[in-house]
Amino acid sequence: MLNHGSSCRNEHDVHLPTRLVDVGSFDGLTPPKLIATAGEKLANLNYVALSYCWGKIPFLKTTPDNLKTLMISIPWNTLPNTVRDAIIVARRLQVRYLWVDSLCIIQGPEQAAVEDWKTESAKMHDIYGAAFVTIAAASAANAHEGLFSKRPAEAVRSCRLNPSSCYPGSVLLGADPPRNSAEVEALHTRGWALQEQLLSNRIMTYGASGLSVCSLFLC
């Protein structure tokens, strides 16, 4: 990175998104809530970003009317499944914060919402570029379908890596499952999803065939 000059991003120069979802305690006992970051620099704080399809079925969004309420608490049963699942993944990763557009950008036709969208939508390169990981809900056609679903078992033998002192969990390695060349995930039919994929340094994709993880280390 030192030899790349100005072509590489210095994460300490990146400011946090204006708002983040505090996912609450990792044990799930504390509910999530919306927080304002006051534009602080990224420093050592990590957050997860969500890439997903809204769909046409209504779901909870931040508006000028409920902004203050959501900054106190976001009731679990008011969230769509995809956002709930993203919170669960963030908690499992031990990452305290999540960025999701419907909650972190004020929505609606009101002037305050329109101005907030103009400001925040111009920051997508920093928001996805600085995220610890982007969760892509690839197979979900709307916000209610979620990340987790029953998937067909593949006839692929895998090997297990033994836990280590650095990572106590189990890891299974196997061949990439076969895919139908004509199969197109719902998220990949949306133009903005390409931007989010290209901007992200790491992507966890929850697709119809399973979970895949991609890390892009450009520097």
**Which pLDDT tens digit goes with each residue over 145-182?**
999 876 666 545 566 666 666 655 555 565 555 554 44
Altogether, the residues listed in the chain come to a count of 219
Q: Distance between the two ends of the chain, CA-based, in angstroms?
A: 5
| pLDDT attached to residue 154 | 58
What is the distance, to the nearest Å, from the Cα of residue 48 to the centroid of all Cα atoms in its chain?
Answer: 5
- Looking at residue 48, its amino acid is V
Find the mean pLDDT for residues 76-95: 95
Q: How many domains does the chain have?
A: 1
> pTM to 2 decimals?
0.78
* Helix count and strand count (H, E) for the chain: 6, 9
CB atoms within 10 A of CB 38: 8
Both tokens of residue 39?
């534009």
Both tokens of residue 160?
């297990």
- Looking at residue 112, its amino acid is A
Residue pair 141/187 in contact (Cβ under 8 Å)? The answer is no
Residue pair 34/19 in contact (Cβ under 8 Å)? The answer is yes
What torsion do the CA atoms of 205, 209, 210, 213 make, to the nearest 10 degrees? Answer: -40
Mean pLDDT, all residues of the chain: 81
Structural domain of 118: 5-151+159-215
Find residue 135's DSSP bridge partners. 50, 204
